[in-house]
Amino acid sequence: MFSRSALLVPNHGQQQVRGMATLKAIAMRLKSVKNIQKITQSMKMVSAAKYARAERELKVARPYGAGTSAFYDKAEVKGEEEKPNQLIVACSSDRGLCGAIHSSICKHIKAGLAQDASKTAVICIGDKSRAQLARVFSQNIIAQVGEVGRKPATFEDAARIATFILNSGYDFGQGKIIYNKFKTVVSYDTLELPFFTPSAISAAEKINVYDSLDADVIQSYMEYSLTSLLFFTLKEGACSEQSSRMTAMDSASKNAGEMIEKLTLTYNRTRQAVITGELIEIISGAAAV
Amino acid sequence: MFARTAHTLARQVARAGTRAYSDAPMAFTFASQSQVFYKEANVRQVDVPSFSGSFGILPSHVPSLAVLKPGVLTVFEEAGTSKKYFVSSGIVTINQDSSVQVLAEEAAAVEELDLASARDILSKAQSAASTAATEEAKAEALITVEVAEELVKAAESG
């Protein structure tokens, strides 16, 4: 594109000569790229602020999530073998422009569903994952949670989602939450976190070690631990998303900056060429007199 | 049910706080959704209010799960000091390796509770309970009343 404008044909600037971008076109493009750079820079600032807050909240939520999954590990709870149905919860959000956050979750789910998609149901938290999965697995998606990502998640939100999952009517033997675990500002991992039904917990290997349990306690425990796992994954997802958006907007601003430099050089060259052309005309016109 | 109550009564440890049946460390984690109070800390004893009765947890307590009731949770630290926290609801996990996790939905140190606001919440909840229209609303209001009553008790003692 830039090499084409090097083909200089002197004209008055009004006619579009094939192979050369007019001065006005370059100026318009330059202005729009400058605006885009301003927007991406401000988005980066906003994400940086939101990331700082999300990281602070994540520090608190991490022991919360670790404490919940510690029990499942120590009691060696496994999914119910008699019920092959599986419930997958995709923990993403509604907003884009954050790099590969949503697509990495969807890739993970697609890989899991590649062999057998009949016994799995998917609940999508956030519009982006639903949009990507609906193209291929629309019959597996049984529910979707909206309005995620605008404000930081609270425990009440997680509780509402947990109630929704448990009342969805899907009879699953085991479930897992796919989420992005925050590692550093520039990297995150897409991991899964399992959750179980009360009967799976009662049938666990080491459950007899635990004293004085009855069905009520197990039911309440399972509901609360599902909520805390969801809370934990929502916080991790939010932190990964904000840091990813920060880096994405940062590279976008840098790319826009490079484009502005190149365009400015082209603009100056084109401007000089037009002036030179006009000078030549004037001189040749004067010489003819 | 009575057998269970008797069982838990037998488990209640005296509040002397100086006895230690075991010197093994208890990795105690106590967190609410907005704050981490203890993270794998080594404490002497924890008294928790639960639906299956209030009981104290010492190191090497038998593994168990319990659901928190609104009330005061007391932590007896290594140094001998004790700290009280009001918890609204949550779960308690005691694992075989003596690690204890208390995850509360909301928790606050008893010193931070304001008695006047607690009484205010209680009266509002009681009026909501009496004027509730549906069963569900009435149940929610009664839960608020229960939490508010415990809140007032905790604020009075703190």
B67-103 tens-digit pLDDT: 998 989 999 988 888 899 999 888 898 888 888 889 9
Q: What residue type is A179 in one-letter code? A: Y
Considering the domain boundaries, does residue B36 fall inside one? yes
Q: Which residues pair with A196 in a beta bridge?
A: A174
Domain co-membership, B55 together with B105: yes
Coil, helix or strand for A99? coil
The whole-number pLDDT of residue A105 equals 94
The model's confidence at residue B158, banded by pLDDT at 50, 70 and 90, is low
Q: Identify whether the C-beta of residue B26 lies closer than 8 Å to the C-beta of residue B92.
A: no
CATH superfamily of the domain spanning A24-41+248-284 = ATP synthase, gamma subunit, helix hairpin domain (1.10.287.80)
pLDDT tens figures, A217-232: 888 888 898 999 999 9
Is the backbone of residue A87 left (phi > 0), alpha (psi -120 to 50) or beta? beta
Q: Identify whether the C-beta of residue A257 lies closer than 8 Å to the C-beta of residue A37.
A: yes
Considering the domain boundaries, does residue B66 fall inside one? yes
Q: Which residues contact B131 (CB under 8 A, 6 or more apart)?
A: none
The model's confidence at residue B114, banded by pLDDT at 50, 70 and 90, is confident
Q: Does A68 touch chain B (CB under 8 A)?
A: yes
H or E stretch including B93? strand B90-94
Which positions in chain B touch A217 (Cβ < 8 Å)?
Answer: 51-52, 65-67
Considering the domain boundaries, does residue B9 fall inside one? no
Which positions in chain A touch B36 (Cβ < 8 Å)?
Answer: 59-60, 63-64
H or E stretch including A241? helix A215-288
Domain co-membership, B38 together with B52: yes
Mutate to test the interface with A, among B2, B28, B102, B103 (most CBs of A within 10 A): B103
Domain co-membership, B100 together with B35: yes
Burial readout B27-51 (b: 16 or more C-beta within 10 A, e: otherwise): bbbbbbbeebbbeebebbbbbbbbe
Residue found by looking up tokens 């840091």 in the block: A243
**Domain stop point among B90, B110, B130:** B110
Domain co-membership, B100 together with B127: no
Distance from CA of B128 to the nearest CA of A (A): 21
Considering the domain boundaries, does residue B43 fall inside one? yes
H or E stretch including B102? strand B100-104
Considering the domain boundaries, does residue B15 fall inside one? no
CA B144 to chain centre: 16
Q: Identify whether the C-beta of residue A181 lies closer than 8 Å to the C-beta of residue A240.
A: yes
Count of helix runs (H) and strand runs (E) in chain A: 6, 5
Considering the domain boundaries, does residue B6 fall inside one? no
Arch. (CATH architecture) of A57-246? 3-Layer(aba) Sandwich (3.40)
CB contact under 8 A, B103 and A64: yes
Domain co-membership, B35 together with B92: yes
ipTM of predicted complex: 0.76
- What total number of domains does chain B contain? 2
Residue span of the structural domain in which B42 resides = 23-110
List the 15-74 stretch of B: residues with Cβ below 8 A of A. 29, 31, 33-36, 39, 51-52, 62-67
Q: Where are the domains of chain A?
A: 24-41+248-284, 57-246
Considering the domain boundaries, does residue B12 fall inside one? no
Please tell me the total number of residues recorded for chain A in this structure: 289
The whole-number pLDDT of residue B13 equals 42
CA B104 to chain centre: 8
Tokens encoding B58: 């010492």
**Strands (E) located in chain A:** 86-91, 120-125, 141-145, 174-184, 187-196
Tokens encoding A3: 């090499």
What CATH number is attached to the domain comprising B85? 2.60.15.10
Domain co-membership, B96 together with B145: no
pLDDT value at B12 more than 80: no
Domain co-membership, B45 together with B83: yes
pLDDT value at A6 more than 70: no
Within 13 Å, how many C-alpha atoms sit on residue B73's CB side? 31
Domain co-membership, B103 together with B137: no
pTM: 0.83
